[in-house]
Each structure stands twice: as structure tokens, then as C-alpha cells.
């Protein structure tokens, strides 16, 4: 999440964003209940309108190779 939103914004989203498609609970609550983190992430992506090509996160290997 920090790659997409930054650390501070990620913390706010996890704590405060109610995900209607997952029972109107926050990510923090859903994680505590044992919900699949991937499903939580995808719900956050949809509600925050993250482009689908970024739903899988950054390809850290490719990014590292470009830096060398």
C-alpha cells in the first residue's frame, strides 16, 4: 500500500476507510477478522480508483534492474 499511497496515507486508509463491498468494515477490522489481505487490497483499489495495471503492485525486481 505504501508504494501506491505513501506510508501516511496508507495508515489512514487502513484505519479509516470503510469498504462497503466487505461489510462496511475498515481494512484494519477485516485483517483482525482474518479476511484475505489480497481481497482487502483489491477492494481498496476499486474504491480509490487505482488503475487496474497497478493492482498487482510494483515489480520490485524490474525496478531494481533499472536502477543498476
Average pLDDT value for the chain: 90
Could you give the angle at the alpha carbon of 42 between the alpha carbons of 5 and 12, nearest 5°? 35
Indicate the pLDDT class of residue 61, thresholds 50, 70 and 90. Answer: low
Structurally, how many domains does the chain consist of?
A: 1
pLDDT at residue 65 tops 60: no
Query: pLDDT by residue (tens digit) across 17-40?
Result: 999 999 999 999 999 999 999 999
Report whether 25 contacts 18 (CB < 8 A).
yes
Q: Which helix (H) or strand (E) holds 18?
A: strand 18-19
Instruction: Determine the structural domain holding residue 58 and report its residue range.
Output: 2-67
Q: What is the pTM of this model?
A: 0.82
Amino acid at each position: 500500500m505504501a508504494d501506491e499511497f505513501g506510508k501516511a496515507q496508507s495508515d489512514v486508509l487502513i484505519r479509516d476507510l470503510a469498504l462497503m463491498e466487505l461489510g462496511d468494515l475498515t481494512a484494519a477490522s477485516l485483517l483482525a477478522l482474518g479476511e484475505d489481505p489480497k481481497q482487502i487490497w483489491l477492494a481498496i483499489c476499486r474504491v480509490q480508483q487505482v488503475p487496474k495495471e497497478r493492482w498487482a503492485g510494483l515489480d520490485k525486481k524490474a525496478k531494481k534492474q533499472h536502477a543498476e
